[in-house]
Amino acid sequence: MDEEMTHIDRFLPMLPADRDGYTILGQVMGMGWTMNDGVYVAREKKTQKLALCKILNYHGSTVGMQEIYALQVAKGQHGIIQIHKESYANSEHRLYLEYCDGGSLRDLLEKYHDALQHIPEAFLWHVAESILRALCFLHLGIPQVSTYLTPRHDWPPMYHGQLQLDYLYMTTPTSYPVGNSYPRIVLAELSGLYIGTPPKDRVGSKWRKDRTVDFFTMLRRKVRMHVEDEVNDWTEHEWYRANDIRNFATIMCELSYTNHSTLRQTHAREQIYSPEWIGLMDKLNGVLDTPMYDWANKPTVDVILREVLRAKKSALARIFEEPLL
């Protein structure tokens, strides 16, 4: 039996050594390109609380500086994953991040799909507001507790670039259905972040003249992609901003149309959702139907958030906050 287990153990991933006051418990994600050596569940020895340990290798430490910067800046922003500790030793960079035990929105979507039920509308409003507030902070420097939603003009815009259900986590709710009972929505995986220059420093900066160079720009120049002339006047900032908004629209449509292939038909939607949510979905579907290069002068995330908050207030006055499965 011991020989058999020894044979099996040879094929199991070896866990990194414990350090920094944390014990590594197991691996939850494998290596990502050449940037990191995996993501692990760890337990802090002092408090016994769980955390995620993301290990960056030499290349990852260099490329990951943008992620580390964003995590440090986002401390205290409850809609963005929080960093507990950062350490560097033996050419290995470790980030100890908040552990969200509620799973991802992808997990929730699959649960409702298997149960042949639709996700409660009140929770969808909660998700929409949570994502937009996180994007408002990244794009415009607006704190998530802000009431007036005033952008910072000296803020270097940060665009997520990989916004999807798999990178939106939930914390375990404490009570149902009174008060703010839904789990906190946490935006994670900032490794694909694009950080630009503040608006005042990029006036008149166009696509081919922008001082910032990123992977998308280099790829586009290398393969000489044929695109419409309008795209040539874009800055990288406009492309990434539009991409985050389109990804937000995709997420909300995915969550809304779970198990209801006919929900795009008005009569079917009216049986489940309020007129306010149907109106929002129609606008988001319009976003998905709009070519990317037409989004240069479209509303920013703070404008979209204001509209969502107004519609949410009206809708929640009539609907009940149903508990999740």
Write the pLDDT tens digit of every residue in 121-132. Answer: 999 999 999 999
Report yes or no: 286 and 253 within 8 Å, Cβ to Cβ: no
- Nearest by Cα to 212 from 203, 202, 223: 202
What residue type is assigned to position 195 of the chain? I
Q: Is the pLDDT of residue 169 over 90?
A: yes
Q: Is the pLDDT of residue 82 over 80?
A: yes
- Nearest by Cα to 274 from 319, 320, 304: 319
Torsion angle, alpha carbons of 221, 225, 228, 231, to 10 = -40
Determine phi and psi for 181, rounding to 5 degrees.
Answer: -90, -15
Confidence of residue 204 (pLDDT cuts 50, 70, 90): very low
Spatial separation of the C-alpha atoms in residues 79 and 305, rounded to whole Å: 14
Write down how long the chain is.
325
Percent of the chain exceeding pLDDT 70 equals 74
Residue with the larger pLDDT of the pair 224 and 261: 261
pLDDT tens digits for range 141-159: 999 888 889 999 889 999 9
Percent of the chain exceeding pLDDT 90 equals 46
Count of CB atoms within 10 A of residue 126's CB? 20
CA 100 to chain CA mean position, Å: 14
Spatial separation of the C-alpha atoms in residues 325 and 66, rounded to whole Å: 37
- The DSSP bridge pattern shows strands 185-187 and 158-159 to be unpaired
Determine phi and psi for 227, rounding to 5 degrees.
Answer: -135, 165
Structural domains of the chain, ranges and CATH numbers in brackets: 2-98 (3.30.200.20), 105-316 (1.10.510.10)
Q: Quote the pLDDT of residue 224.
A: 35
